[in-house]
Amino acid sequence: MENNSTQLNIQQPTHEVTIFAEPIFNVGGLQITNSLLTSWLALLVIVAISLAIRLKIQKIPNKLQNIFELVLEGAMGLVDQVTNDRKITDKIFPIVFSLFMFILVNNWLGLLPFVGSVGFNVLEEGHTVFVPLFRSGTADINMTLALSIMIVIASNIFGILTIGVWKIFNKYVNLKALGDIFTKVKHDKSIVIVSPISFFVGVLELLGEFAKVASLSFRLFGNVFAGEVLLASMGAIFLYVLPGPFLFLEVFVGLIQALIFSLLASVYFTIAAQDHSEHEEEHSEKQLASV
């Protein structure tokens, strides 16, 4: 008796949306899900667009090249407003803009008619389950979690390359603050209270890195997944009529979510590149000078 049987079909986009990505096939020990397939498709779209633009670059730009140049200039202007430093913008812009494009294309691919409606039926435990072949990559918590972890780790690596390993380490494990108790207590008695607080703030900074991962991943996943559920529900109730306005709304939401995620990534890179200890030293020197 067969446990699983599959049959390729095309189903109306009224199937039940699951909170998890469904497996499609395995490559060795790697499980390929429908959200991963959509993410690969998004990469192919981005690569195809990039190559098409690259092959048509001219000294005297045409209309298409003018459009993309305006988009890039506007994007760099937004990142400049976050960093307030063109040098930092030049360094982080490639990864931030690539992240924006990947999330945007993934969000918009999830709105296409074949995503969620083309798939196959699987017979499991006596009942038929429809498995869509494609699903928005950002509607999978594993994808958004991976992107968030990558950004947090990359921002700290950027901080190490910018201000050094010791200062990044001291940001989270503030040994210098504890050492100040013994070196500065003669001049400033309040250091006995201030330094332990500064050390504890470093611990909170470390916990904040984990909070960044949770905030980034769940915000993006929640908004995209909620959009899928909304469209599926409206499509089941009023097929082809009422979902129209919600579809245009989700196009806008997909753009906003990609923009928010990439700008937050810019904020994290900028914070990691700032040396807060220099400002603290200047402030403490001014206090000692005034005593």
pLDDT at 9 over 60: no
pLDDT digits (tens, 9 = 90+) for 279-290: 444 444 444 344
Q: Residues 87-96: what's their mean pLDDT?
A: 92
pLDDT at 147 over 90: yes
Give the model's pLDDT for residue 125.
63
* Banded model confidence at residue 60, pLDDT cuts 50, 70, 90: confident
pLDDT at 1 over 60: no
* Banded model confidence at residue 156, pLDDT cuts 50, 70, 90: very high
Best-predicted range by mean pLDDT among 20-34, 83-97, 180-194? 83-97
Give CA torsion, residues 248, 70, 216, 23, to 10 deg: 60
Q: How far apart are CA 149 and CA 225, in angstroms?
A: 20
Instruction: Determine the straight-line distance between the first and last CA of the chain, rounded to whole angstroms.
Output: 87
pLDDT at 7 over 80: no
pLDDT digits (tens, 9 = 90+) for 107-128: 888 888 777 667 677 666 666 7
Q: Residues 46-52: what's their mean pLDDT?
A: 89
Q: How far apart are CA 91 and CA 155, in angstroms?
A: 12
* Banded model confidence at residue 181, pLDDT cuts 50, 70, 90: low
Q: How far apart are CA 226 and CA 238, in angstroms?
A: 18
Structure tokens at 230: 């909304």
pLDDT at 216 over 60: yes
3-state secondary structure of 275: coil
Contact (Cβ atoms closer than 8 angstroms) between residue 112 and residue 172:
no
pLDDT at 228 over 70: yes
Residue type, position 213, single letter: V
Computed over every residue of the chain, the mean pLDDT equals 78
Structure tokens at 158: 């950027």
Which one has a higher pLDDT value, 223 or 242?
A: 223
**CB-side neighbour CA atoms (13 Å) of 3:** 0
* Banded model confidence at residue 49, pLDDT cuts 50, 70, 90: confident
Closest CA to 264 of 207, 214, 189, 197: 214
Residue type, position 4, single letter: N
Contact (Cβ atoms closer than 8 angstroms) between residue 128 and residue 122:
yes
